[in-house]
Structure 1
Amino acid sequence: MCCLEFIVKYVLIIGNIIFALLGLGILGLGIAVHVNLKDIYQLIPVGLSALSISIITLGCIIFVISTLACCGAIRESRCMLLFYALFMAILAGIKIYLTVLIFGFLDTATTTVTRWLISAFNNEDLRPAYHGLETLFRCCGTTGAGSYAPGAVPQSCCASPIDNVCQANFYDGCIDQLTSYFETFGESIGAVLIVVIIIECVCVLAGLFLSCQIRRKRYTA
């Protein structure tokens, strides 16, 4: 049993080092999404800002708790290990819910993004923000330059406008560009979350086992 305890202890330490790195990965992806979308939140009638901030917060929490878990395993602190196991179980539940939400959104990404962008494009009050979206994502209108027919195509629709008007080399439609963006980042974040959940469950079991072993040793000492 001592050999198993030794193995579990170092699996817990190594697992949480990996876990901390994955937490940094989630943090980085959340920051990337938040920074890229900060200028267009008003165009999208859902709490994407809250979602990206939640992902950033989750990444920070994972990193901090994983670092503390390594310290608890090294010092063989039963209190820290029990707290860690409980907290990780709660976080696992939250991440499972978040993963379901992300993949649920991806299932309807094209329909949802299409509805958002058509609504925003047809709202004249949001037209300046929409042009900002076109510049950010290198896209044009909803389905391309034809979205502006019969009027002039704005300078945000191409890389080389002439007299503030695009005349050639138009970008593709924003619906295709944003759908691809959400699918790419959604799948990346979802994949990282799945890996984190699996490692988390293993670490919870390891933490509980190590805590029980520490308790047994103290009572038999």
Structure 2
Amino acid sequence: MCCAIEFVVKYVLIIGNIVFALLGLAILGLGIAAHVNFKDIYELIPVGLGALSISIITLGCIIFVISTLACCGAIRESRCMLMFYALFMAILAGVKIYLTVLIFGFLDSASATVTRWLINAFNNENLRPAYNTLESLFKCCGTTGAGSYGNAMLPKSCCASPIDNQCQAETSYSGCIGELTSYFETFGESIGAVLIVIIIIELVCVLAGLFLSCQIRRRRYTA
């Protein structure tokens, strides 16, 4: 019976970590895409988004390497590799629990935080080019809409199809505060839910790695 369980755990661990390795590559690609696509607006939001995208890239690399290590450990039945894998996955799960708490904590004050960020950025003339890039990316205008610009001419980034190269208030986008708040809330909830699922899977992998390592040790001592 134990041999059958060990066989199942071994191949579940191998298949599961192949999936994790692919997930690591996907996270790596996501981090690179975020770093390239949003680098022009990093200066608008004072939370180190550049560092965040680099952290995502690093996390993707780590997951890929550790998952590959787990596959090799399970195939070769290496206790050292499996124990290292279980330890590192436990640490990763702890980090993700911390990140999940931070994300859901941020969501509680997302509206007020985004409002403060964008008003400060909008009122800073040096950040206006970056703010216009933000408007183009998120299809929004000003802070609360065209009225944010007062009597000034609206930038082309406030409209989908400027008439005679000019944006009219009647055809302008809605405010960026509402758009970004909605984006952060939706994105944050999705990321939080995904992290919870990944944490559960990682804890199962920790138990599987420890179980397989103990079975290999027991078999070698009784051989």
Would the aligned equivalents of 1:26 and 1:192 in 2 still touch at CA under 8 Å? Answer: no
1:181-220 matches, within 5 Å, as: 181-220=183-222
1:62-211 matches, within 5 Å, as: 62-167=63-168, 168-211=170-213
**Distance in 2 separating the partners of 1:106 and 1:194:** 16
CA separation of 1:22 and 1:191: change in aligned 2, threshold 3 A? farther
Shift of 1:32: 4.1
Letter in 2 for 1:118: I
Structure 1 window deviating more from structure 2 (106-115 vs 179-188): it is 179-188
CA separation of 1:108 and 1:30: change in aligned 2, threshold 3 A? farther
Q: Unpaired runs of 5+ in structure 2? A: none
SS in structure 2 of the partner of residue 139 of structure 1: coil
CA separation of 1:130 and 1:150: change in aligned 2, threshold 3 A? same
Shift of 1:153: 1.4
CA separation of 1:33 and 1:92: change in aligned 2, threshold 3 A? same
Would the aligned equivalents of 1:19 and 1:199 in 2 still touch at CA under 8 Å? Answer: no
CA separation of 1:32 and 1:103: change in aligned 2, threshold 3 A? farther
CA separation of 1:102 and 1:31: change in aligned 2, threshold 3 A? farther
SS in structure 2 of the partner of residue 6 of structure 1: helix
Structure with more relative contact order (C-alpha pairs < 8 Å, separation 6 or more): 1
**Distance in 2 separating the partners of 1:191 and 1:11:** 23
CA separation of 1:92 and 1:64: change in aligned 2, threshold 3 A? same
Determine whether 1:35 maps to 2:36.
yes
SS in structure 2 of the partner of residue 35 of structure 1: helix
Tell me what 2:17 maps to. Answer: 16
Determine whether 1:45 maps to 2:61.
no
Shift of 1:114: 0.7
SS in structure 2 of the partner of residue 40 of structure 1: helix
CA separation of 1:200 and 1:8: change in aligned 2, threshold 3 A? same
Structure 1 window deviating more from structure 2 (72-81 vs 180-189): it is 180-189
Shift of 1:151: 1.8
User: With structure 2 as the length reference, what TM-score do the two structures score?
Assistant: 0.91
Letter in 2 for 1:83: F
Shift of 1:164: 4.1
Letter in 1 for 2:198: V
Shift of 1:38: 1.2
